């Protein structure tokens, strides 16, 4: 029985050691891809004129309301807080 356990442990340790270099190779490949910038998608396309105008106007409108000192969390619970 001890002989069988020794063989199983040897096989498991051999498999673990055999897989370790492959993991290192894959990790190095991912790191190389990230540093090389070969998978970059390029510059994002700008928004269409009307969409950009609306987004900017919404941004400007957000400054019309003061930021409250605190937020009343209970208010959300009283309103139901979700779709029915």
Residues above pLDDT 90, as percent of the chain: 14
Higher pLDDT, 28 or 41: 28
- Structure letter (DSSP) for residue 23: H
Q: Quick check: is 37 in a domain?
A: no
- Confidence category of residue 17, pLDDT binned at 50, 70, 90: very low
The two tokens of residue 13 are: 């340790």
pLDDT digits (tens, 9 = 90+) for 3-14: 667 666 666 565
Which structural domain, as residue segments, surrounds residue 17? Answer: 1-28
Q: Quick check: is 21 in a domain?
A: yes
Q: Quick check: is 8 in a domain?
A: yes
- Confidence category of residue 54, pLDDT binned at 50, 70, 90: very high
Scan for tokens 């004129």, then name that residue.
49
């Amino acid at each position: 029985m001890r002989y069988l356990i020794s063989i199983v442990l040897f096989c498991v340790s051999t498999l673990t050691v055999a897989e370790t270099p492959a993991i290192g190779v894959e990790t190095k490949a991912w790191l190389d891809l990230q540093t090389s910038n070969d998978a970059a998608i390029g510059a994002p396309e700008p928004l269409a004129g009307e969409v950009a105008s609306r987004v900017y106007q919404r941004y400007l409108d957000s400054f019309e309301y003061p930021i409250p000192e605190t937020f009343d969390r209970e208010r959300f619970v009283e309103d139901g807080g979700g779709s029915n």
